[in-house]
Amino acid sequence: MLKIGIIGATGYAGGELVRLLLGHKEAEIVWYGSRSYVDQKYASIYQNMFQIVENTCLDDNMEAMAEQVDVIFTATPQGLCASLVNEDILNKVKIVDLSADFRIKDVKVYEKWYGIEHKSPQYIQEAVYGLCEVNREAVKKARLVANPGCYPTCSFLSVYPLVKEGLIDPNTLIIDAKSGTSGAGRGAKVDNLFCEVNENIKAYGVAGHRHTPEIEEQLSRAAKEPVLINFTPHLVPMQRGILVTAYASLKREISYEEVKAVYDRYYNKETFVRVLEKDVCPQTRWVEGSNFVDVNFKIDPRTRRIVMMGAMDNLVKGAAGQAVQNMNLMFGIEEAEGLRMAPVFP
């Protein structure tokens, strides 16, 4: 059994990690880390875990944790993992970081967009960007994995095959994304109060959302050229889910069958990416509570553009599920272990 430590176990992503790992046949959580709830029963914070989890929350002492576990998940705000990790810890355990600390390879770009100084830039190049469908073999050999962001995961998987194959002009790419409120975390914020969110939809981070450079970096790698995009996220009155609608110009006339063949070639063998049937648009309700990403596309011959769509659960494939998927690869466990649950409906 793998022994698991979680720093940030009482946030939404941390709570989802707990839920998933409790159903994992080869994992045991031994350290529920939470700076805010030290010495409190975990089930008193998440009552859904009553009589399921008997553990008490511990602190976020990564060095002490590394003596007791095989893998550490850091489900924390930006900056914490980078401030704690060191060579001694990485020689003892593997780390899956759910923050943005090691996703962006240019430390100056990270510091500009996140507004903080990076505390351990020496590990940025080593860290593997943990998008399993693209970097599977590198993840298997990693000791530090940067778990991708929720918006970047859904955005990238929705458009990746066409960017990689050079069928669209990536610099014409516009990504419109919508997320439920859990994407903002569990902290108390006026903008996330029920009366602020209910019966409302709004754009935010317009022309400046911090996931933009992460999406651009990964698309640039796929396109083998620098890519600049317009990315606009929106907050919608639901708890979970991300819906991406992306638009780009086609480089040539192309048929539905050709595009479908490209998506199938990239995703047919992927357990968690589902290419939908013709004219079926992804919906968040079809992936809720699961590690699946549903993708599809629609060609608009009138404008010679293509619309690419994706839907996923921001807390599962967008955070905790993808982290477990990465852990499985890092330790040679069957990739879908602990992640086989069907989406919740309705």
The pLDDT tens digits for 236-276 are 999 999 999 999 999 999 999 999 999 999 999 999 999 99
- The pLDDT of 143-148, averaged and rounded, is 98
User: Is 72 strand, coil or helix?
Assistant: strand
Whole-number Å distance between alpha carbons of 34 and 56: 10
Q: What does the pLDDT average to over 80-98? A: 98
Q: What is the pLDDT of residue 95?
A: 98
Place of tokens 């419109």: 176
pTM of the model: 0.96
- Picking from 249, 170, 175, 247, the residue whose alpha carbon sits closest to that of residue 211 is 175
Give yes or no: 150 in active site.
yes
Average pLDDT of the residues in 224-237: 97
Q: How far apart are CA 56 and CA 48, in angstroms?
A: 15
Q: What is the pLDDT of residue 340?
A: 96
Q: State yes or no: pLDDT of 89 exceeds 90.
A: yes
Mean pLDDT of the chain: 97
Give the pLDDT of residue 184: 86
Residue 88 has pLDDT above 90, yes or no: yes
- CA–CA separation, 152 and 213 (whole Å): 9
Residue 260: what pLDDT? 98
Q: What is the mean pLDDT of residues 213-222?
A: 98
Distance, CA of 81 to CA of 74 (rounded, Å) = 6
In this prediction, residue 272 carries a pLDDT of 98
Cα–Cα distance for residue pair 334/100, rounded to 1 Å? 26
Half-sphere exposure of 268 (CA within 13 A, CB side): 6
Cα angle 37, 321, 110 (rounded to 5 degrees) comes to 75
Residue 136 — pLDDT band, cuts 50, 70, 90? Answer: very high
Q: Which of 158, 161, 178 has its CA nearest to residue 295? A: 158
In this prediction, residue 188 carries a pLDDT of: 78
pLDDT of residue 73: 98
Q: What value does the mean pLDDT take over residues 62-76?
A: 98
Res 192: pLDDT? 86
d(CA 155, CA 210): 14
Helix axes 150-164, 212-223, angle to 10 degrees: 20
User: Where in the chain do CATH 3.40.50.720 domains reside?
Assistant: 2-126
Query: For position 231, what pLDDT does the model report?
Result: 98
pLDDT higher than 90, residue 115: yes
**236-247 confidence digits (pLDDT tens):** 999 999 999 999
Residue 110 Ramachandran class (φ > 0 left, ψ -120 to 50 alpha, else beta): alpha
Q: Are strands 144-146 and 174-179 parallel, antiparallel or unpaired?
A: unpaired
Q: Tell me, what's the pLDDT at 187?
A: 82
The CATH class of 151-314 is: alpha beta
**Which H helix or E strand runs over 4?**
strand 2-7
Q: How confident is the model at residue 287 (pLDDT cuts 50, 70, 90)?
A: very high
Q: Give the residue-averaged pLDDT of 133-141.
A: 98
- Tell me: the pLDDT tens digits for 22-57? 999 999 999 999 999 999 999 999 999 999 999 999
Task: Give span(s): CATH 3.30.360.10, the chain.
Answer: 151-314
Q: What is the pLDDT of residue 50?
A: 98
Return the pLDDT at 48: 97
pLDDT of residue 211: 98
Instruction: Please check the confidence at residue 90 and state whether its pLDDT lies above 90.
Output: yes
Of 57, 150, 154, 195, which one is the catalytic site residue?
150
How large is the average pLDDT for residues 128-150? 98
341 or 187: whose pLDDT is higher? Answer: 341
Question: Of the CATH numbers 2.60.90.10, 3.30.70.1290, 3.40.50.300, 3.40.50.720, which one belongs to the domain with range 2-126?
Answer: 3.40.50.720
Q: Transcribe 163-193 into DSSP letters.
A: HHTT-B-GGG-EEEEEE-GGGG-SS--GGGS
Q: Report the pLDDT averaged over residues 202-206.
A: 97
Distance CA(291)–CA(109), nearest Å, equals 30
> Quick one: pLDDT band at residue 334, thresholds 50, 70, 90?
very high
